[in-house]
Amino acid sequence: MTDIREAARVLWDFHCVYDDLEPCEVIIGLGSYDLRVAAHCANLFHDGFADHIIFTGARGNWTRELFSASEADAFKDHAISQGVPADAISLETHATNIGENIRFCADMVPLAKQAIFVTKPQTQRRCQATVKKQWSSMRARITAPNTSFEAQPLPHHDERALICEMVGDLDRMQTYATRGFQTEVKVPDAVHQAFDVLVNAGFVNHLR
């Protein structure tokens, strides 16, 4: 495997999960630089999957210059612009990573048993593994905006940034399991090979 785009699509396909959805108690939108996640939460709300949304996220490295307040606040404003009533939204504004997103939301609704977690397409598998570890009693459904790899880059987060993000997240999924942050994820050989291609090509900005 030598083509960068081919390797990137292998990682993209692996990171995407798209569970089948069913009505639940709450929709949880994980904050980020991508307001399409908030719009998707709004669509799920209007389609009757839940009558309440929690947006979670502080201001991170990628959003400090993008939003005037927290990611959760920005997502709330966007969802309201999509017709979601303000009183149907709660905010968690302190989480700075996926583990905190999950744990802090669990503290907000400790009795909830079913939730739809909405994140970026390329963060779904990491979200899934984190929920299994950090909120094991939760019947979780993981989803994202149905965006293609080609359409995912944004003016403030271009294709190179996207690929670096996917490379970094794959590395985290392997190291974070050993540190107890998430459950172990089996990574196919083809995905390991694609990861190596991209690392060797210099897409290493988000490796730790």
Segments of the chain assigned to CATH 3.40.50.620:
17-143
Give the model's pLDDT for residue 1.
46
* CA quadruple 104, 33, 4, 143: dihedral, nearest 10: 50
pLDDT for 153-166, tens place per residue? 999 999 999 999 99
Percent of the chain past pLDDT 70, that is, above it, reads: 99
Give me the helices (H) in the chain, please: 4-15, 36-46, 71-81, 98-108, 124-134, 159-178, 189-200
Backbone phi, psi, residue 147, to 5°:
-105, 140
17-143 carries CATH number 3.40.50.620: yes
pLDDT in tens, 1-43: 459 999 999 999 999 999 999 999 999 999 999 999 999 999 9
Alpha carbons 102 and 155: distance in angstroms, whole number: 28
Q: Which residues of 86-117 are buried (b: 16+ CB within 10 A; e: fewer)?
A: eeebbbbbebeebbbbbbbbbeebeebeebbb
Query: CA–CA separation, 73 vs 80, rounded Å?
Result: 11
